[in-house]
Amino acid sequence: MTVHPKDVDIAASQPLLRTVGHNHPHDSAAKHVRGEAVYIDDMPDLPDTLHLAPILSPVAHGIIKNIDLSNAKSAPGVHRVLSAKDIPGKNEAAPILRGEPILADGKVEHVGQMIGVVVAETFAEAVQAADFVKLDIESAKPCFDVEQAYGKDSHTAATQRLTSGDANAALNAAEHRISGRIEMGGQDHFYLEGQVAYAIPGEEQEMTVWSSTQHPTEVQVHVAMALGIRNHQVSVIVRRMGGAFGGKESQATIIAAIAALAAQATGRPCRFRLRREADMAATGKRHGYVINYDVGFDAKGRIGGLNVKALANSGHVADLSGPVVTRTLTHLDNCYHLPAVDFTGFSAKTNTVSNTAFRGFGGPQGMVAIEGIIDEISRSLGLDPNEVRATNYYGPQTGEVTPYGQPVEDNRIKAVVDHLLKSSQWEKRRAGIDEFNRRNTVLKKGLAMMPVKFGISFNLTTLNQAGCLLHVYTDGSVHLNHGGTEMGQGLFTKVAQVVAEVFGIPLLDVKITATTTEKVPNTSATAASSGSDLNGAAAFNAASELRARMADVAAQELKCPAENLIFAEGRVGDGENSMTFGEVAKACWLKRVSLSAEGFYATPKIHWDVTKLKGHPFFYFTYGAAVAEVVIDTLTGENRCLRADIVQDCGQSLNPMIDLGQVEGAFVQGMGWLTCEELWWDDEGRLRTVGPSTYKIPGSRDVPPEFNVDILTDRPNREETVFRSKAVGEPPLMLAISVWLALRDAVSSLSDGRLAARLDAPATPERVLFAVDDMKARTKEQA
């Protein structure tokens, strides 16, 4: 029997919820602060453990003529040096397509590509020996530029086109028309824990792999493929990651496969950890984009037609670039009804690291583009950007259809924005900022609002499934396992709350356990903000089924109808008589009733045609909005966000404290992407920002000193999600686009707001100063 979450009467149960909807600290918080939370590199070494260090390509593109391992092999402590030819199975890391090697074979396609790995007694010995490998690589001409790649139609994944209406006709008929180009950089995940795996060989070629991965199943499949064994011989386990953000969705597979390869080759446990510099050189990042657009609009700024060509820097292979580009195209509309569009998405092949998933997954890049376009339209018409936004919003009740064919139902954008503009005192502050700008010659302030609509579900319908395994023991304690992974986002806590709620037991009676392919098979990545929606619902189903069985037994014991029983405060009863939850469990065992259940969940309603880019890919949308106030220095381009106000719709939040943490953290991370975080390659294609000394993520002082975050926690999701909650992982990252828009506003103030700033992302001090100088020159020209 599968119980659907809709069977819980939300309206009736809401006031009674005892665990769900309450603040519970992260389940590992006490361990985190005491240094007791165990990450993979903290696990005690098993006897005979060997350590690995990668051999990385020094050139961006070339043919491998020879790999001379003699010096490395004879270095102290070295056991083996492995390269592509040592892979007994398939040298394949591609999550979707094929032909993406784990270790470079025959050719190298980016600086930092892994060519081989040294296996040594100690980590230091492995690292030292890796430097002794002599590589003879015949260099070929590299390509680092997405527009150049587009020019020669060099791509990693099929080019995508999303059209609706007749965009060209709309453009030709439009009163006004603007075309332009926006460039935005990529972003390193900078998870504090680098990529790591620990592989332990067993009998009959079995392999147990502890992997810091968001996707244990993908690790399992690729380890089996690489070793030439069956999936059932591989177990993948992950208790926690030290951050991931998408960077351990597909990239972790490569690290785990190499660790397993070494373990199989040596018959000894092998630990593979990438140091920061190697991690940043070898693993994928957020895709940088160049987006060209041509927009037609009327005198009120109402968009009639929009052509967009989005060129994503895919890197040397596709990895997840295809679906990343899909999400860009399906989020170019953001909150705006676009009657006629023609969007092209191109996965440009370049000789850089292969870019991958990163919180937002292409959505943020699409939204930066459309918001840049709105800014251009507003300034060209002399209108307030927020008015132009309002003119273009999807109607609140109309169910207007997105370019990909999904009606926008349960549209909360206007409610969220109105709430925010009021709570952030927009009108008053706008006037104050204009006054500040009149009185100051060097510092200029900017103010901007950013609305966000984000689609929840994996675009690919198949991936929207999850499983859970639940055991109740005869003392009433509960063992919880599901397919989701914990990377800091609090998923384990939320899912445990769901189980505790269904059973009416204290949260601490639910034991959270490491994710493993042995307990829940064939899982999807913990990604796309879907972790609690999918795994929470699967856990709800498992718990509901067990509760129904236990209720039958309790009814017999208490001699009352099962439907009268209430599970609450660790007891099961009908209001008059009751037993403890543990007593019911014991009774089940005595009566030979199973106390173990699996739960399964498949998101309803969704479908997607991956070739036409049409369908109903998202179960629902989440809404949020932010207002940011910034100041820039027109002499140096230095800039700072002074205040941010946020409203984020969290449905009926499972855990407001954890959701708040997601909103704040995502905003600051998004702000980093758009301001101080700059990936910089030299002319030879070497990434020169490969550590925190050169790649600057936000620090504590960069957080806006006034930071008002309002999460709407009491607006049940209209769709039947677990306890009517909403996903929260990715959407608030895009709220940080308000900071970039505010920086543009500050630059525009030099023209009294009449001209749009030419400011790409990240808006480093350099880009801001150049935009300021450009604005000064254009304003002078006009005068």
Partner 1 sequence: MNTSINFSLNGNQEAADCRADMTVLEWLRIEKRLRGSKEGCAEGDCGACSVLVRRADSENYHPANSCIMLIGQLDGGALITVEGLAGLGEQGHAVQIEMAKNGSSQCGFCTPGIVCALSGLLNENSNPSDSDIHDALAGNLCRCTGYRPIVEAAQAAARTVGESSLDTKRDGQMQSVAGNGDSCVYHPATLEELHTLRKSNPDAVLLAGGTDSALAVAHAKARWPQFTSTRNIGALRNVEIRGDILCVGGAVTWQEFLPFAQQYWPGFATLIRRFGSVHIRSMGTLAGNLATASPIGDGAPALLALGAKVVLSGPDGNREVDLNAFFTGYRQADIRDDEIISSICVPLPKPDEIFSVYKVSKRYDQDISTVCGAFWGVLEDGQMSDCRIAFGGMAATPIRVPSAEAAMIGKKWDNESCESARQAIEAQLSPMTDFRGSADYRSRVAANLMVRFLKETAGSEEPMQVMAL
Q: Catalogue the active-site residues.
A: 730
Written as one letter, the residue type at 685 is: G
Kindly state the greatest CA–CA separation across the chain.
90
> Smallest distance, Å, CB 75 to partner 1?
12
713 belongs to the binding site for partner 1 (CB under 8 A)? no
Q: Which stretch binds partner 1 (CB under 8 A): 3-11, 38-46, 307-315, 497-505?
A: 38-46
From candidates 465, 518, 642, 753, binder to partner 1 by CB under 8 A: 642
Taking CB under 8 A as the criterion, the residue among 409, 638, 710, 774 binding partner 1 is 638
> Which residue in the set 345, 363, 385, 490 belongs to the binding site for partner 1 (CB under 8 A)?
490
Smallest separation, CB 668 to partner 1 (Å): 4
Q: Determine if 631 is a binding residue for partner 1 (CB under 8 A).
A: yes
CA dihedral 102, 108, 112, 115 (to 10 degrees): 50
Q: Which is nearer to partner 1, 132 or 404 (CB)?
A: 132
Closest to partner 1 by CB, 275 vs 778, is 275
Site for partner 1 in 349-408 (CB under 8 A): none
> For partner 1, which stretch binds (CB under 8 A), given 135-143, 297-305, 347-355, 690-698?
690-698
Is 676 a residue that touches partner 1 (CB under 8 A)? yes
Stretch that binds partner 1, among 188-196, 297-305, 461-469, 569-577 (CB under 8 A): 188-196
- Report which of 456, 373, 446, 478 is spatially closest to residue 753, judged by C-alpha positions: 446
Nearer to partner 1, 31 or 605 (CB): 31
* Residue choice 86, 410, 598, 702 for contact with partner 1 (CB under 8 A): 702
| Omega cis (within 30) before 762 | yes
Scan residues 92-131 and list those touching partner 1 (CB under 8 A): 123-124, 127-128, 131
- Distance in angstroms (rounded) separating the CA atoms of residues 241 and 227: 25
Using rule CB under 8 A, residue 36 touches partner 1: yes
Name which of residues 448 to 487 contact partner 1 (CB under 8 A): 487
**DSSP label at residue 42:** G
- Edge-to-edge strands, sheet with 620-633: 443-456, 620-633, 639-649, 706-712
Q: Can you tell me the distance from the alpha carbon of 67 to that of 73, in angstroms, rounded to the nearest whole number?
A: 12
Q: List the structure tokens of 214.
A: 């968001």
Binding mask 406-445 for partner 1 (x = CB under 8 A): ---------------------------------xxxxx--
Question: Which stretch in 387-395, 448-456, 496-504, 700-708 sits in contact with partner 1 by CB under 8 A?
Answer: 700-708
Q: Does 497 bind partner 1 (CB under 8 A)?
A: no
Report which secondary-structure segment, H or E, holds 306.
strand 303-315
* C-beta of 598 vs 638, nearer to partner 1: 638
Q: Burial, 35: exposed, middle or buried (Cβ in 10 Å; 0-12, 13-18, 19+)?
A: exposed
657 belongs to the binding site for partner 1 (CB under 8 A)? yes
Choose between 79 and 571: whose C-beta lies nearer to partner 1: 79
Regarding 488 and contact with partner 1 (CB under 8 A), the answer is: yes
* 228 is a site residue for partner 1 (CB under 8 A): no
Contact predicate 756/681, CB 8 Å: no
Which string of b and e fits 51-75 if b means at least 16 CB within 10 Å? bbbbbbbbbbbbebeebebeebeeb
CA separation for the pair 437, 193 (Å, rounded): 43
Q: Which of 639, 738, 748, 751 binds partner 1 (CB under 8 A)?
A: 639
Residue 680 CB, nearest approach to partner 1 (Å) = 4
Cβ atoms of residues 118 and 126 within 8 Å: yes
Q: Which stretch binds partner 1 (CB under 8 A): 136-144, 213-221, 615-623, 633-641?
A: 633-641
Label residue 782 exposed, middle or buried (CB < 10 Å: 0-12, 13-18, 19+).
exposed
In whole angstroms, give the CA distance from residue 592 to residue 645: 56
Do strands 515-516 and 234-238 pair parallel, antiparallel, or not at all (unpaired)?
antiparallel
Interacting residues with partner 1 between 741 and 770 (CB under 8 A): 764-766, 769-770
- Contacting partner 1 within 229-248 (CB under 8 A): 240-245
The nearer residue to partner 1, 120 or 551, going by C-beta atoms, is 120
Residue 137 near residue 64, CB atoms below 8 Å: yes
Note whether 354 and 317 are within 8 A (CB).
Answer: yes
Q: How far is CA 202 from the centre of its chain?
A: 34
63 belongs to the binding site for partner 1 (CB under 8 A):
no
Coil vs helix vs strand at 739: helix
Residue 144 found at the interface with partner 1 (CB under 8 A): no
Give min distance, CB of 21 to partner 1, in A. 16
Determine which residue in the list 158, 401, 566, 703 makes contact with partner 1, applying CB under 8 A: 703
Tell me how many residues contact partner 1 (CB under 8 A): 91
* 39 lies in the site for partner 1, by CB under 8 A: yes
Q: Assess contact for 234 and 261: CB atoms under 8 A.
A: no
Residues 257-296 that bind partner 1 (CB under 8 A): 275-277
Side chain identity, residue 727: A
With a CB cutoff of 8 Å and minimum separation 6, the contacts of 92 are 98, 99, 100, 101, 102, 222, 225, 226
Q: Shortest Cβ distance from residue 444 to partner 1 (Å)?
A: 10
Question: Which pair of structure tokens corresponds to residue 500?
Answer: 């505790």
Tell whether residue 668 is a contact of partner 1 (CB under 8 A).
yes
**Segment near partner 1 (CB under 8 A), from 54-62, 186-194, 515-523, 592-600?**
186-194
CA 618 – CA 457 distance, rounded (Å): 5
Return the residue of 11, 12, 33, 299 that touches partner 1, per CB under 8 A. 33
Q: In DSSP terms, which residues pair with 633 in a beta bridge?
A: 443
Among 680, 714, 752, 777, binds partner 1 (CB under 8 A): 680
Distance CA 212, CA 256 (A): 8
210 binds partner 1 (CB under 8 A): no
- Can you say whether residue 692 is alpha, beta or left, with left for phi > 0 and alpha for psi between -120 and 50 degrees? alpha
What tokens does 664 get? 């704040």
27 lies in the site for partner 1, by CB under 8 A:
no
Token pair 């699967």 in the structure block, residue:
538
Min dist. Cβ of residue 509 to partner 1 (A): 20
305 vs 637, which CB is nearer to partner 1? Answer: 637
Considering only residues 366, 451, 651, 661, which one is a binding residue for partner 1 as defined by CB under 8 A? 661
Question: Least distance (Å) from partner 1 to the CB of residue 200?
Answer: 18
Q: Is 35 in the site for partner 1 (CB under 8 A)?
A: yes
Q: Which residues pair with 82 in a beta bridge?
A: 117
With beta carbons less than 8 A apart as the criterion, state whether 162 and 703 touch.
Answer: no
Distance CA 56, CA 72 (A): 14
CA distance 208 to 202: 7
Minimum separation from the CB atom of position 701 to partner 1 (A): 4
705 touches partner 1 (CB under 8 A): yes
